[in-house]
Amino acid sequence: MSSTQAPTTSPAPDLSAARRRSAELEGLIAEDPGRFRVLTGDRPTGPLHLGHYFGTLQGRVRLQDAGVDTFVLVADYQVLTDRDVAERLAEHVEDLVLDYLAAGIDPERSTVFTHSALPALNQLLLPFLSLVSVAELRRNPTVKDEIAHSRQAAVSGLMFTYPVHQAADILFCKADLVPVGQDQLPHLEVTRTIARRFNDRYGTSGPLFPEPHALLSAAPLLLGTDGTKMSKSRGNSVNLSATADETTRLIRSARTDAYRHITYDPVGRPEVAGLVLLAALCQERDPRTVAEEIGDGGAAQLKKVVAEAVNDRFAPLRARRAELAAEPGYVREVLRAGNERANAVAEATLDEVRAAMGTAY
């Protein structure tokens, strides 16, 4: 890489700038949703939980329903970053797609697809790798964090390079918006850097790739039943697909504190506030009002309210999920159609890339 290029994968992306930009973008989307293409996705490593739902899934459905062209990626290759073998992959893929569909992702309007079915997307990885330095790959704070938490004996090459592969996920369809959580901001910087460098180096007849923007969720972080961030790997989550009884049991086991009077105080009483917030999100109410109503009812009443709120809110989604799961071959069919559509887009982009790089023979 030439030494004149500024280092662009900054170790601490400016969160408040990203928030400000996201708010501006929301305004532009409301004005003209058809102008935008969104890409997001998840690693198929297990069922989605309520944190995913309020953090990103609900937002994706809102964008789709507003008329934004939406691509949803089942990032199956990315599962292999922090483990040697993708255990029960087919089952996790099926679960993830069912969660999407039950939450309102509509396969008629959104393109749901998998990494591994798109050769042209994967081929973009090679030119893209040539546009970043090893030093930049090493600096990525999210990758560093994942390496620190990985239980693998050795760090694989994919761990260091998957943010570049993620750039291919986003750029193959020329998405301009990427709804993500904070931890993905460094990856989005990598994508923007690659788009810019590709355009600088090969875009003699105009830029080929847009520089996509992160769209940060406005929803506050949801805590799990132990009072820390809700997360698959911490075993503290309530899955979207949980039954009403499982939900009630999980919430009954949640940690609270020794004070009877229920208040909403995220800093002083994180465990209680997390439960109050969950009920408030489910009921689309202000968490302070929810807390006031429970008042001296204590932890038992709080948990009863939360379990009912979750079960009421998600009953329709869960019923729909069960219906779809009972239809043999339905998820396969959704993926087949989505992969076909995504493949056509990826091939068209790869053709343009070949023409720009002088490798169209």
- Which residues of the shown chain bind ligand TRP in the complex (CB under 6 A)? 39-43, 73, 75, 78, 166, 169-170, 178, 180, 184
Closest approach of Cβ 138 to ligand TRP, in Å?
18
Identify which of residues 73 and 280 has a Cβ nearer to ligand TRP in the complex: 73
Q: Are 336 and 163 in contact (CB under 8 A)?
A: no
For the CB of residue 3, give the shortest distance to ligand TRP in the complex, in Å: 30
Which residues pair with residue 69 across a beta bridge?
37
- Taking the complex as a whole, how short is the minimal distance between the CB of residue 168 and ligand TRP, in angstroms? 9
In angstroms, what is the minimal distance from the CB of 256 to ligand TRP? 30
Say which amino acid occupies 181. G
| For ligand TRP, the closer CB: 185 or 291 | 185
Asked whether 211 and 195 are in contact (CB, 8 A), the reply is: yes
Q: Of 91, 59, 60, 54, which Cα lies nearest the Cα of 76?
A: 91
Nearest to 311 by CA among 255, 260, 257, 238: 238
CB 56 within 8 A of CB 88: no
* Least distance to ligand TRP, CB of residue 330, Å: 24
Please, which residue, 52 or 269, has the CB nearer to ligand TRP?
52
Q: Which residue is nearest to ligand TRP (CB)?
A: 75
Count of residues in the chain: 361
Q: Which residue lies nearer to ligand TRP by CB, 102 or 164?
A: 164
Terminal Cα-to-Cα distance of the chain (whole angstroms): 27
- Rounded Cα distance, 225 and 255, in Å: 6
d(CA 273, CA 288): 9
State residue 180 phi and psi, 5-degree precision.
-145, 165
* Location of structure tokens 């038992």: 300
Q: How far is the CB of 277 from ligand TRP (least distance, A)?
A: 22
DSSP 57-119: IHHHHHHHHHT-EEEEEE-SGGGGGS-SS-TTHHHHHHHHHHHHHHHT--TTTEEEEEGGG-H
Are 175 and 158 in contact by the 8 Å Cβ rule? The answer is no
In the bound complex, what is the minimum distance in angstroms from residue 187's beta carbon to ligand TRP? 6
Toward ligand TRP, which CB reaches closer, 209 or 264? 209
Tell me whether residue 113 or residue 264 sits nearer to ligand TRP (CB atom): 113
Between 112 and 309, CB nearer to ligand TRP: 112
CB nearer to ligand TRP: pick between 72 and 294: 72
Q: What is the DSSP letter of 222?
A: P
C-beta separation of 193 from 164 below 8 A: no
Nearest distance from residue 238's CB to ligand TRP, in Å? Answer: 19
Residue 233 burial (CB < 10 Å; 0-12/13-18/19+)? exposed
